[in-house]
Amino acid sequence: MPAIAGPSSSPQKHVVGSRLEVTGGLRSAEVNTCRKRKLRSDSAAEVSSSTPVNSISTPMKWKSPRRCAVSIPKTADEEIKEDSNGNLASPVISAVKNLSVCLDVESKWNPRDEEQMKAVKEALHVSKAPSTVVCREDEQRRVSEFVKSCMEQNKAGSLYICGCPGTGKSLSMEKVRQQADDWAKQAGLPCSETVSVNCTSLTKTTDIFSKILGKNESGSKANGSSSPLQQLQSLFSQKQQQSSSKMMLIIADEMDYLITRDRGVLHELFMLTTLPFSRCILIGVANAIDLADRFLPKLKSLNCKPLVVTFRAYSKEQILRILQERLVALPYVAFQSNALEICARKVSAASGDMRKALCVCRSALEILEIEARGSIDQEPQGPVPECQVVKMDHMLAALSKTFKSPVVDTIQSLPQHQQIIVCSAAKAFRGSKKDRTIAELNKLYLEICKSSTITPAGITEFTNMCTVLNDQGILKLSQARDEKLRRVSLRVDEADITFALKEIRFFRNCLL
Amino acid sequence: MGKEIIPAAEKSLNLIRGRLCDPSYVFRPLSASSDSNYSKLKFIVSTSITEGCNNSILLLGPRGSGKAAVLDLVVGDLLEEFPDSVSLIRLNGLLHSDDNCAFKEIARQLCMEHHLLFSKMASLDENSQFIVAMLRECGLAHKTIIFVLDEFDMFAQGKQRLLYSLLDAMQSVTSQAVVIGLSSRLDADQLLEKRVRSRFSHRKILFLPPSREEFDGLLEHLLSLPADSSFPNGYVSRFNEKIKNITSDTRFKDILRTLFNANSTVNSLLKFIFRAVSLMNLESGLLSLENFKAALSSMQRQPKLEAVRDCSILELYLLVCMRRLEVKEQSAYNIISVMKEYKTIHDSFQTSDYYAQNVCLRAFEHLRERQVICYTENRGQSQTGEYRPMKLLISASELHQGMRSHACCPAILLKLLDH
């Protein structure tokens, strides 16, 4: 597979390039030998246009090249690569060490350069589809095999793709569609038509049928006599005049918007593929894993259950590989590899959502950019002091910004009376009782105020403050006719409140 | 020494009041530092514009903390910097949370910006196709569309179709858009569906109340008069001197602390200063500490307390009787039982205030009108007249406080209340 060959082939090239000059200066970092080797590594870089240099990252620490070089065989899932990488392990390490030293001396990555920053950010943007889709080869293969077999046998079929958001479903669908077109051209079959519908854009669920009908090649328009569904059904129940009619590929994205109470539309859609002369290949995409079982039980009895392909959430190695793949095409190194690793680990533990990983990386880049710009203001002159790549602390800051909820900060910065209200709410809802009236909460509030000689606020002010806390999502107030009978419940975890207020001794004692 | 109003005083009053009502003037000093929310927001949006990539941000903070004001500052600056590459679409969750309305409004605003004709008869499909087409066109022309969604949490009700289509459109390379959501709910992004949340880029800017130093700086910025020629010479320096004296006074700091203990947003500070400045003595043309004290008490009113303070002695007696009945665990009492209690008090303490029944009934009416007491709602039992149960609408502490601040409350009543 061309995609995987990329990163692992480069160390070979570089090893070949620099092995020729292996001298005693392998372990030393003298400038002379470095410069010599730098020139040669430069020419080696020019020889191969898409030199994925940065998969061997260039941090100042010596540990990470080793880790990165060893991690490459882990992500490659074919034996050949493992063998080759295993053989090259030790020379790669030393060559990489040297390479990194050379690259440190003449690093092309400058965080203050806008063009470079823009290119890296673009490479990491969610909307930029990578040229090759990695880590989804298995699923893509299954889907394209299904489509090919349907097209070859001129038979209708249905497929259901499920998976969490951000696992590459729509991306793979695009690739499969292109592949199907190419393959059909090669095999000499007529190209299939594609109807791609995003079901969130339908005003009524039955509109999907008119959309399918609209694309039908026989050109029958939706006339007023029968509904589009009936027309499609009659179309597919009769033998077609033309012997070689095109297959129709229907891709329904976000299919769970089609679920109505009687599940009629979903059933009919899948039943279209079971009609005798049906020509459509239906591929449905949604998040629920058991959609086919729960909502389409009739199909099972008719023995035409759709094929199910599950896109699992990405694991840490997969996320790391995808990130490295995206950064491969750039001629400079912007990220330390352990920064990428920690990002992959955290995101895969949380949700396995690739969009989040990309977002966190971009956020870390922005933190680096602000830092670099900040140092501009202080010293406008002078070269880049050190190789400013995205390091662990940038990535950790970006991760905390993305994953931390703002509740703790907000509670810490609330005015004093509102903090007392939050504290009394935490005490009130400790037991089994999950909601109380405002009057009861007021009583607790007055008790706490009395114990600390703070003048309590009146009932009007108290109700106003409870409304403010309700607006912020900390408390939940219900509606009632009488102000004092409104019920209050807590929306925030008590542990969060205790954590937020632990600096203040008064509240610490209060919440004991 | 006469009672004439100095013209400079009126002018300075108008100047300060004008400043307080202008959010961009108020938030400029708070946005000056490079760590402020203003610079963070500006950085994110301007990099999205210059690099042509899509982005989504959420601004979170309590009401009155300046989210809309800072956003307006940023948008104003960006419209100046990039006059042709930015177009702005504003939606409000209270008005446009229905998908039909929202799409219609977006189409209408796009039409207005680009001088196209808008048809009110367009359906939802047509509107959404138009929006997608416009996004593509603007992306090709390197023009960024900024969507501002006020009351973002209201958009997260229902099927979230608008949010999904907007955020999904930003996943494609062809469009260039920035979605900025403003919300007072801290967990606004938890309200999103998982599909929509996955497409949202998880950038959140939290608007916390400013620190004390920033508040002091803000006060100075708002209240000091500029030294230009439209004011008489000595007046400006006298005014600013007085302001400095007031703000360094510990009593003023106490007033501020009481204010901030209840509500620490910028908006409440502005209201407080507005009231204080409006009470300025126009003869001297200078502010004083009493202005600020009066402003604080007018902001932190306790209406029930004032009602008790205005009661007559008989009404106070009746309130105390009701409270005593409550303390004796008699949850439902009516006029008859209160009158009985009143009689017992009179008998045991030989008070001089004993009035006849009809006078007491009049007093009950007065108390009910002022909403200090009311009839309780009874399901099924319909009793009339004096047998209807009543209850107090003020708490014991409020009654206590009101009686203590009453002009001529007899001491025996206070003793009875504490009993």
Burial class (CB in 10 A: 0-12, 13-18, 19+), B110: buried
| Cα B319 to chain centroid, rounded | 34
Report pLDDT digits (tens) over B329-351. 777 788 888 888 888 888 888 77
Burial of B228 (0-12, 13-18, 19+ CB in 10 A): exposed
In this complex, the residue of A118, A461, A471 whose CB is nearest that of residue B63 is A471
Q: Which residues of A touch B398 (CB under 8 A)?
A: 458-459
CB A304, CB A274: distance < 8 Å: yes
CA B194 to the chain's CA centroid: 32
Full DSSP string of B243-265: HHHHHT-HHHHHHHHHHHHH--S
Of A200, A442, A472, the CB nearest to B186: A472
Cβ neighbour number for residue B381 with a 10 Å cutoff: 8
pLDDT for residue A377: 57
Give me the residues of B, 257-316, that contact A with CB < 8 A.
260-264, 300-305
Q: What is the model's pLDDT at position A275? A: 80
Q: How much is the average pLDDT of A353-368?
A: 89
A399 CB neighbour count, 10 Å cutoff: 21
pLDDT digits 0-9 by tens, A430-486: 877 778 888 889 888 988 888 888 888 888 888 889 999 998 889 988 888 777 778
- With an 8 Å Cβ cutoff, are B209 and A413 in contact? yes
* Residue A280 Cα, gap to closest chain B Cα (Å): 25
d(CA A14, CA A42): 10
| Residue A279 near residue A158, CB atoms below 8 Å | no
| Structure confidence at residue A224 (pLDDT) | 59
- Give burial (CB, 10 Å; 0-12/13-18/19+) of B39: middle
What 3-state DSSP class applies to A283?
Answer: strand
> In terms of CA atoms, which chain A residue is nearest residue B211?
A413
Mean pLDDT of A387-405: 85
CB within 8 Å: B209 and A415: yes
Q: Determine the pLDDT at residue A493.
A: 87
- Secondary element (H or E) of residue A252: strand A248-253
Interface of A with B in 131-170 (CB under 8 A): 164-166
**By C-alpha distance, which of B5, B262, B346 is closest to A445?**
B262
Is B204 close to A414, i.e. CB distance below 8 A?
no
Partner residue opposite B262 with nearest CB, options A200, A369, A461: A461
By CA distance, what is A399's nearest residue in B?
A: B202
A219–B contact, CB cutoff 8 A = no
* Residue A70, token pair as written in the block: 């060893």
**How close is the nearest chain B Cα to the Cα of A494, in Å?**
16
Q: How confident is the model at residue B411 (pLDDT cuts 50, 70, 90)?
A: confident
Residue A106 · residue A53 · CB < 8 Å: no
Touching check for A401 and chain B: CB below 8 Å?
A: yes
Distance CA A189, CA A247 (A): 10
Q: What angle do CA B383, B384, B389 make, to 5 degrees?
A: 65
pLDDT tens digit sequence for B157-202? 888 889 998 888 888 888 889 999 999 998 888 899 888 988 888 8
ipTM: 0.81
Beta strands in B93-172 (DSSP E): 144-150
CB A211 within 8 A of CB A194: no
- Measured N-to-C along each axis, helices B212-223 and B233-247 cross at an angle, to the nearest 10 degrees, of 160
Residue B17 identity (one-letter amino acid): R
Tell me which residue in A125, A362, A472 faces B62 most closely, judged by beta carbons. Answer: A472
Model pLDDT, residue B8 = 82
Query: Most B CBs within 10 Å: which of A471, A476, A485, A496, as the mutation test of the B interface?
Result: A471
CA-based nearest residue to A59, from A68, A50, A72: A68
Highest average pLDDT, of A128-132, A479-483, B253-257, comes from B253-257
Pick from B54, B123, B262: which is nearest to A127 by CB? B54
A8 vs A403, higher pLDDT: A403
Model confidence at A76: pLDDT above 60: no
CA–CA gap between residue A150 and residue A152 (Å, rounded): 5
Cα angle vertex A267, ends A266, A271, to 5°? 120
